[in-house]
Amino acid sequence: MAETLGILLISGGHERAHYAFVTASAAAAIGREVVLFATNHGCAAFCDDAPEFLAADRSMAALGVAALAELRDACLALDVRMIACEAGLRVSGLAASLRPGVEVAGVVTFLEAVGPGQIITL
């Protein structure tokens, strides 16, 4: 079995968030276990109503590229484990708007889940 892939999303930019979900869904689609951990304003990627992503998502959808919401849904369907950093949620003020299925935990939980696997930081 392939090692677990950990993806650490450390900022709230659309490009990083979008590619975190692209990478997570692709890895899960080929059978890897994936843990996606977001902290600080990267936690917005786990919310449905993040205004900072809406314009970019509309532009991508118009070009036929999967929007962030579609990629999040794919990740959920592919059993990607999504964890929002507890401290990061406090910093960003987003705790109340997390999507269902997103855990709230700390970096220790993320590291334990990835174990000896690979970690990518975006």
Q: Residue 60 has which token pair? A: 């991508």
Identity of residue 66? A
Mind listing the pLDDT tens digit for each residue in 3-19? 999 999 998 889 999 99
36-64 pLDDT, tens digit each: 999 998 999 998 777 778 888 888 889 99
pTM check: above 0.75: yes
| CATH number for the domain harbouring residue 116 | 3.40.1260.10
Amino acid of residue 105: A
Domain that holds residue 11: 5-121
- The string of DSSP codes covering 30-82 is TT--EEEEE-GGGGGGGBTT-HHHHHHHHHHHHTTPPPHHHHHHHHHHTT-EE
What is the C-alpha separation between 63 and 86, in angstroms, rounded? Answer: 35
Into how many domains does the chain fold? 1
